Amino acid sequence: MNHRPRPFLPLLISIPLALAGCTSYYKNVEACKDKMRTAYPDAATAPLKITGSNAGYHGSRVIVHATIDYPPRPPATKRLSGAAAAECTFSEQAMTGFQWLLPANLAPKPPSADADADE
């Protein structure tokens, strides 16, 4: 009997590992979308509509994009649309961070230069 190494064996072993990474990618994207929807404070007056998402390697960092439809202010009659974005960070499938990137009123403010001087 001829016992030689099979070249396709490493390929067969790597397929489940690759699929596990893809699964966490999709779960992390969905988790970030859900977090964005629940953390959005103005859902009753200005609806949030998810328009897309991007994710890093195995979903370790996810950016979700959306639009916000603001009600018209007189004398305007058309609804105004604004951009929204949020960033989620993950360790495997556990969310380790969430922050708004847009709109500016929801995004975290950078520390001021005065705060650094006080320390």
Please name every residue paired with 80 in a beta bridge, in sequence order, or none if there are none.
Answer: 70
Read off the tokens for 72. 């018209």
- Which amino acid does the sequence have at 25? Y
In a domain, 54, yes or no: yes
Average pLDDT over residues 2-23: 54
Tell me the CATH number at 88. 3.10.450
Total count of domains within the chain: 1
Widest distance between CA atoms in the chain: 88
Greater model confidence, 77 or 13: 77
Q: What's the pLDDT score for residue 118?
A: 53
pLDDT band at 17 (very low <50, low <70, confident <90, very high): very low
In a domain, 99, yes or no: yes
In a domain, 112, yes or no: no
- Tens digits of residue pLDDT in 54-67: 999 888 999 999 99
Sheet holding 48-55, edge to edge: 48-55, 61-70, 80-91, 94-102
pLDDT band at 22 (very low <50, low <70, confident <90, very high): low
Q: Are 84 and 102 in contact (CB under 8 A)?
A: yes
Q: Is the pTM of this model over 0.75?
A: no
pLDDT band at 19 (very low <50, low <70, confident <90, very high): very low
Torsion of CA 39, 40, 43, 48, to 10 degrees: -120
Domain that includes residue 75, residue range: 9-107
In a domain, 78, yes or no: yes
Query: What is the rounded CA–CA span in Å between residue 61 and residue 83?
Result: 20
